[in-house]
Amino acid sequence: MPTKKTIQLSHGGGGKEMDQLIHDVFFKAFDNPILTAQEDAAKLNMCGHIAFTTDSFTVSPLFFAGGDIGKLAIAGTVNDLAMMAAQPEYLSCSFIIEEGFPLADLTTIVNSMATELRKSGARIVCGDTKVVPKGCADGLFINTSGVGRILIPDISARNLQVSDAIIVSRDIGRHGAAILMARDGLSLESELYSDCDTLWPIIEQLLAANIKMHAMRDATRGGLSAVLNEWAKASQVGINVEEASIPICDEVKGLCELFGFEPFDLANEGTFVMALPMDIAQAAIEVMQRYGHCEHAAIIGQVTASHPGKVVLQTPWGSSRYLDLPQGELLPRIC
Amino acid sequence: MMTLNDFYQGFRDPQTIGHLATLIAQQAAKTNQQINIMEVCGGHTHTIMKYGLLQLLPTNIRFIHGPGCPVCVMPKERIDHAATLASQADTILVTLGDMIRVPGSMGSLAQFRSRGCDIRPIYDPLDTLVIAQDNPHKTVIFFAIGFETSAPMTAALLAQAEALHIDNLLFHINHVLVPPAIDAVMSDSRAQVNAFIGPAHVSVISGSKIYQSTVDKYQTPVVVSGFEPVDVMESILRIVTQKVAGKAELDNQYSRSVSYEGNLAAQQLVDKYFMVRDSFRWRGLGPIAKSALTLRPEYHHRDAERIYAKILPTAEIDDHKACMCGDILRGLANPKECKVFGRGCSPQTPLGSCMVSSEGACNAYYRYGEVINAN
């Protein structure tokens, strides 16, 4: 009886099967001389200030509209480097695979990682594979770490200046909403897809245009609310945002209405927030829109000296309220 | 084809909201009386706070938050029931939304889940059917909560379970009713409410008629209201207009979904499976006669409360002494009057469920605050 090839415990045993998996799947996709040298550690050539980051990825489902766990694992780590104005160069990659995981799915995910790597030019130079017995993991977990060369220093959450403009690179909440739809099997007719993407090409364009930003952060878990609150606290400034200026697509708005969520709290995986002097904000928007495929990039607010540590959302009808950090797990409202 | 956005798009129009604010101010200026509006439903509390509507209103209009949050009114012993049921071997406890965050005396359902209990939050009660079908060797218990709004969904789930002979699905019923709670609030001699915004979702099912007795008995206007900012502002205008004219009438602002009689098919479905309980203890309000539903005798074979009666705790458990949720639910206190608000009691470490529930008044105050002169 023909059966689908799946990951066996032996694929993590350090023997022939593991060697075959590494060569046929990982080396094939991530091919580069540092990796395939197969030394105990990768030999790197770097100088100057280096940014170093790590992240683990556990998403359910593994495949979603607009991406998969592999794309997420590359984009996530590359973006963490990009947000420090660091050119992503070398990544490590560790897989924890559940016994019985389809080999075809693993290959698809690894190829997706390779495609995403090409957007920034970063390379996977070392890695690790573990296979755990069935039931000990939810399909597949990936950890990626990355290093990159910092091109301009002083970008920091503590570096916001009063009167800085706050820019968001595109419409918010897509990733969280797409995962929610995929996870709950919502049978809504929707073309909603995740924003999951590598941000380095946009950042590279901004740096090339000599845009000097004070802070950047990708609005991942916790969404826009989390980034702005973290910044307000870290820099001890207030942030005012105009609700009407924040780009949100109709599908995300609709889903939030249905579940009682706020789009500001939903995760993004290819959307970033930037603080920079107001007098260069429009120039930054133009660069982002023209070269970065950020058609909806917008100035959404301004840093202020009042209410330090707090984010205030101005409604379109003249009232205002705090935009607080999201709390606890996101659960749908009851009625 | 209609999209979700069509349901709210016109109801957040800044010009309309501004115009309504002007009309409310004009009407309110005609009277010296304080207008104390109780928004019975936590959904309205959140609309008022989230959209900053209070800032648009004259000072003689005041909001008093009511007992209409299904999570907030659940006494601790009922949450302990859920935790006890979830702790049984080969059992899956299913419930709605943020019920799992509310603290019982032994911890919240989220804490029990982290200890290994199989507890699943769902959005649609009918998802429970699939869980029961997928786990034929386990007992699946639906911990049903909510007002008149969600009772038909529980009834529909029960109807499906009966029709498909899914015998491993049981129910723990905690459906409560709005009118007896309003009576409980108003029967307190300290009550200050002199107008009501009526919960619209409840009236979609039960009709606006269920508030007629409130209007007649207490001579207070009741305006059944939608949840969008324009809905709430228009309802406030209608209330103020009534107060200025010295009227007390039942009015239906949410006529796009609510009729006087309500959804008769849903009412029949509820009547088929449920009957009114003699009494139900509400958190903060105490026992209220005829204020909740229970399964009819012919469905006792599905009633987890009866089947597990021997192991379910029976003692009544009051809130922490410092917690003022009781007064807040009775409309006698504002969340910020509570000494532990934002200190000993926050959404991360709640003392009372009004702080943890996404429809709770304390949660709304904590989350959105009251931003005056933010600029």
ipTM of the prediction greater than 0.85, yes or no? no
Q: CA A197 to CA A12: how far, in whole Å?
A: 30
Nearest-CA distance from A166 to chain B in Å? 16
In B135-189, where does DSSP find H-type helix? 151-163, 178-186
Position B10 in a domain = no
Q: CA A229 to CA A19: how far, in whole Å?
A: 47
Residues B274 and B363 in one domain: no
Residue in this structure with the two tokens 């019982």, named with its chain if needed = B104
Q: CA A152 to CA A213: how far, in whole Å?
A: 9
Angle between helices B361-368 and B42-50 (to 10 degrees): 10
Position B152 in a domain = yes
Residues B332 and B240 in one domain: no
Contact assessment for residue A137 and residue A96, using Cβ atoms and an 8 Å cutoff: yes
Angle between helices B14-28 and B229-245 (to 10 degrees): 20
Which chain A residue's Cα is nearest to B228?
A257
Q: Which residues contact B110 (CB under 8 A, 6 or more apart)?
A: A329, B100, B101, B119
Count CB neighbours of A193 within 10 A: 17
Residues B363 and B268 in one domain: no
Residue of A163, A184, A313, A321 for testing the chain B interface, max B β-carbons within 10 Å: A321
Count CB neighbours of B368 within 10 A: 22
Q: CA B186 to CA A78: how far, in whole Å?
A: 60
Q: What is the DSSP letter of A27?
A: I
- The reply to whether residue A253 touches residue B145, judged by beta carbons under 8 angstroms, is no
Residue that finishes a domain, picked among B320, B339, B354: B320
Position B18 in a domain = no
Residues B249 and B296 in one domain: yes
Position B17 in a domain = no
Q: What is the pLDDT of residue B367?
A: 86
Count of structural domains, chain B: 2
Q: What is the pLDDT of residue B375?
A: 38
Residues B60 and B96 in one domain: yes
Query: pLDDT band at residue A66, thresholds of 50, 70 and 90?
Result: very high
What is the residue range of B197's domain?
34-320
CA-based nearest residue to B90, from B139, B142, B141, B143: B139
Q: CA A100 to CA B118: how far, in whole Å?
A: 24
**Residue of B43, B110, B374 lying closest to A307 (CB–CB):** B374
Position B373 in a domain = no
Nearest-CA distance from B339 to chain A in Å? 21
Q: Which two tokens stand for residue B190?
A: 């300290």
Q: Is B210 helix (H, G, I), strand (E, B) or coil?
A: helix
Q: Which two tokens stand for residue B374?
A: 């933010």
- The reply to whether residue A322 touches residue B371, judged by beta carbons under 8 angstroms, is yes
Q: Is A63 helix (H, G, I), strand (E, B) or coil?
A: strand
- The reply to whether residue B146 touches residue A335, judged by beta carbons under 8 angstroms, is yes
Residues B196 and B63 in one domain: yes
Nearest-CA distance from A327 to chain B in Å? 7
Whole-Å CA distances, A284 to A201, A210, A216, B272 = 14, 9, 13, 64
CA-based nearest residue to A249, from A315, A192, A199: A192
Angle between helices A281-291 and A200-208 (to 10 degrees): 130
Residues B344 and B281 in one domain: no
Which chain B residue's Cα is nearest to A302?
B375
Give pLDDT tens digits along chain B (375 positions): 556 666 667 788 999 999 999 999 999 999 999 999 999 998 999 999 999 999 999 999 999 999 988 889 999 999 999 999 999 999 999 998 778 888 899 999 999 999 999 999 988 899 999 999 999 999 999 999 999 999 999 999 999 999 999 999 999 999 999 999 999 999 999 999 999 999 988 999 999 999 999 999 999 999 999 999 999 999 999 999 999 999 999 999 999 999 999 999 999 999 999 999 999 999 989 999 999 999 999 999 999 999 999 999 989 998 888 899 889 988 899 899 999 998 889 888 888 889 888 888 999 888 887 665 433
Which chain A residue's Cα is nearest to B150?
A335
Q: What share of chain B is helix, strand, coil (3-state, %, to 5)?
A: 45, 20, 35
Q: What is the mean pLDDT of residues A102-110?
A: 97
Q: What is the mean pLDDT of residues A313-320?
A: 93
The most distant pair of C-alpha atoms in chain B lies apart, rounded to whole Å, by 67
Q: CA A172 to CA A222: how far, in whole Å?
A: 11
**Domains along chain A with CATH numbers:** 9-150 (3.30.1330.10), 164-322 (3.90.650.10)
**What percentage of chain A has pLDDT greater than the value 70?**
95
Q: What tens digit of pLDDT does each residue of A246-298 get?
A: 999 988 988 888 788 899 999 999 999 999 999 999 999 999 999 878 999 99
Which chain A residue's Cα is nearest to B200?
A335
Residue in this structure with the two tokens 């694929």, named with its chain if needed = A11
Q: Give the A-side interface with B, CB within 8 Å.
A: 184, 188, 240, 244, 250, 253-255, 257-260, 304, 306-307, 312, 314-322, 324, 327-329, 331-335
Q: What is the pLDDT of residue B320?
A: 85
- The reply to whether residue B358 touches residue A331, judged by beta carbons under 8 angstroms, is yes
Q: Is B249 helix (H, G, I), strand (E, B) or coil?
A: coil
DSSP β-ladder status, B91-96 and B169-175: unpaired
Q: What is the DSSP letter of A26?
A: I
Position B39 in a domain = yes
What is the amino acid identity at position A38? Q
Position B241 in a domain = yes
Q: CA B273 to CA B151: how far, in whole Å?
A: 10
Q: CA A286 to CA A279: how far, in whole Å?
A: 13
Q: Which residues contact A15 (CB under 8 A, 6 or more apart)?
A: none
Nearest-CA distance from A323 to chain B in Å? 7
Residues B124 and B246 in one domain: yes
Angle between helices A103-120 and A69-82 (to 10 degrees): 20
Q: Which residues contact A304 (CB under 8 A, 6 or more apart)?
A: A162, A163, A237, A238, A239, A240, B375
Quickly list DSSP for A131-181.
EE-TTSSSSEEEEEEEEEEESS----TT---TT-EEEE-S-SSHHHHHHHH
Phi, psi (5° rounding) for residue A124?
-85, 120
Contact assessment for residue A174 and residue A192, using Cβ atoms and an 8 Å cutoff: yes
Residues B310 and B338 in one domain: no
Q: Which residues contact B236 (CB under 8 A, 6 or more apart)?
A: B20, B24, B37, B57, B61, B197
In A209-305, where does DSSP find H-type helix? 223-235, 250-259, 281-291
Count CB neighbours of A226 within 10 A: 20
- The reply to whether residue A321 touches residue B70, judged by beta carbons under 8 angstroms, is no
Residues B205 and B308 in one domain: yes
- The reply to whether residue B3 touches residue A322, judged by beta carbons under 8 angstroms, is no
- CATH classification at residue B55: 3.40.50.11740
Q: Which two tokens stand for residue A260?
A: 């009682």
Residue of B2, B3, B7 for testing the chain A interface, max A β-carbons within 10 Å: B3
Looking from the CA of B281 toward its CB, the CA atoms found within 13 Å total 13
Q: Return the minimum-mean-pLDDT range out of A184-188, A212-216, B147-151, B276-280.
A: A184-188
Q: What is the DSSP letter of A95?
A: E
DSSP β-ladder status, A86-98 and A140-150: antiparallel
In chain A, where does DSSP find H-type helix? 16-21, 28-30, 33-36, 69-82, 103-120, 174-183, 200-208, 223-235, 250-259, 281-291
Q: CA B173 to CA B144: how far, in whole Å?
A: 5
Query: pLDDT band at residue A234, thresholds of 50, 70 and 90?
Result: very high
Contact assessment for residue A259 and residue A219, using Cβ atoms and an 8 Å cutoff: no
Q: What is the DSSP letter of B318?
A: P
Q: What is the pLDDT of residue A314?
A: 95
CA-based nearest residue to A99, from A21, A12, A20: A12
Q: What is the mean pLDDT of residues A148-173?
A: 96
What is the amino acid identity at position A73? A
- The reply to whether residue A254 touches residue B121, judged by beta carbons under 8 angstroms, is no
Q: What is the pLDDT of residue B11?
A: 86
Residues B181 and B216 in one domain: yes
Q: What is the DSSP letter of B292?
A: B
Position B60 in a domain = yes
Q: CA A314 to CA A306: how far, in whole Å?
A: 14
Residue that finishes a domain, picked among B320, B337, B359: B320
Residues B164 and B257 in one domain: yes
Contacts of range A44-49, beta carbons closer than 8 Å, 24 or more positions apart:
A44/A89, A44/A90, A44/A125, A44/A147, A46/A89, A46/A90, A46/A147, A46/A149, A47/A149, A48/A149, A48/A150, A49/A149, A49/A150, A49/A153
